[in-house]
A = this chain, B = another copy of it.
Amino acid sequence: MEQKRIYLDNAASTQVAPEVVEAMLPYFTEHCAVASSQFSHTPGIMVKEALDRARAVIAARIGAKPEEFIFTSGGTEASNLAIKGAAYANRKKGNHIITSKIEQLSVLQPCRSLEKEGFSVTYLNVDREGFVDPDELKRAIRPETILVTIQTVNQEVGTIQNIKELGRICRERGVLFHTDAELALGWLPFDVEEANIDLASFSGHKLHGPKGIGGLFVREGVKLKRLLDGGYNEFELRAGTENVPGAVGFAKAVELFKPEDSQYVQELRDYLIEGLLQIEDAELNGPRGERRHPGNVNISFAFAEGESIVLHLDMKGIAVITGSACFSRALEPSHVLLAMGYSHERAHSSIRYTLSRYNTREELDRTVEATREVVEQLRRISPLKQERRRGGR
């Protein structure tokens, strides 16, 4: 009998909650007017109201006003709009941007694009647990600095930055503060007022909402040059026919996500970490406890190659990933682990397990057992391990 597949890759967190699908369905087939036709007829008004309700739910969850939250096609668009939009709108004030070395590509690549256009970007270091030093941020801010963009949660090792402190520094210096908060929404307490945030990016599918929808918090008064020109949608910050089913589903996912869910997943996380660290030469990457994302486990298994572990676990019906999801393709070592000061070897032997409220302890028991078997098997044939036995390394 085939065992049920275990999802501990991103899929765990990209599974759309059944309640979310149910909430979306009427907006596909029944309430299908264009939201901007609210000025024309009753069906348009109904759809516009659904969009506004969805906006209000998400805004309330992050301590924002509804008109400070706009829907985008996802986190990548949100971060592009925040970073490029703020850079272009503030070009006259200065051309310097500060970020960290461990951001997602949706933050790093817009920064690199802006460098080609004459902006200057400082990439802050992180310590061995992935934390940015607030004092280093202070020192990096110059008179011409217009934007700081530092993530709330790291996508690979789950490090939760001290964004309150980082936000406070930016506010004191009069510099805009953007944070990629895709993995914070729902999962963690997150308040744009408390942390002095000016811009924050979100993604529906990181908390069991649909793909293809995300959002950007834009503090009242913050000016952005928009990326998508056209109609007058989303307070004139983002043109395009509104994805109302997506917005409704996103809001439902936010509503569904309770602090107890995070607590449950965090317990699973610590259970899995303890189990995996029983394996010989296994080392945790990233911090422990409250400073780590509840759903993130990242372990390096010395002398075993990450890609091989992934493939062998896949054959055993367990889906995990190695390195950064985007970088997996290139077989390059994770830029996050390298920035944290780890060796290429440690980065190449890292496995990321992403947990969600849909996982169970029983699945984790199977996962630990399967990982142990795979790692031991790979080590038996590893030239590195053999070298070490001969006294190398």
Contacts and interface: CB of A to CB of B under 8 A. Distances in A.
Contact of A230 (B11, B15, B42, B80): B80
Most B C-beta atoms less than 10 A away, residue of A39, A227, A330: A39
Interface string A74-96: 11110110000000000000000
A105 B226 CA distance: 14
Contact of A240 (B29, B37, B42, B77): B77
A80 to B, nearest CB: 5
Interface in A23-47: 25, 28-29, 32-34, 36-37, 39-44
Copies in the complex: 2
A223 B33 CA distance: 36
A5 B31 CA distance: 12
A201 to B, nearest CB: 11
Nearest to A17: B29
A226 B227 CA distance: 11
A213 B211 CA distance: 11
A60 interface: no
B9 A29 contact: no
Given A9-B33, A14-B32, A16-B28, A40 B76 contact: no
Given A16-B29, A329-B232, A212 B246 contact: yes
A243 B73 contact: yes
Interface stretch (A129-137, A145-153, A315-323): A315-323
A37 B21 contact: no
Given A36-B325, A239-B105, A320-B41, A227 B229 contact: no
A109 interface: yes
A310 B211 contact: no
A205 B241 contact: yes
A12 to B, nearest CB: 9
Nearest to A111: B229
Contact of A36 (B15, B79, B322, B326): B326
Contacts of A319: 33, 37, 40-44
Q: Which has the most chain B C-beta neighbours within 10 Å: A16, A20, A72?
A: A16
A245 interface: yes
A44 B15 CA distance: 13
Interface string A229-247: 1111000000111111110
Contacts of A37: 9-11, 319, 321, 325, 328
Given A36-B326, A37-B321, A73-B74, 12 more contacts: A7-B43, A11-B43, A14-B32, A40-B319, A42-B319, A73-B243, A74-B241, A77-B240, A80-B229, A80-B239, A106-B231, A210-B243
9 contacts: A37-B319, A41-B319, A73-B73, A75-B240, A77-B228, A80-B227, A104-B230, A106-B239, A232-B326
The 6 closest A-B pairs by CB, nearest first: A212-B243, A73-B73, A109-B229, A76-B240, A106-B230, A41-B314
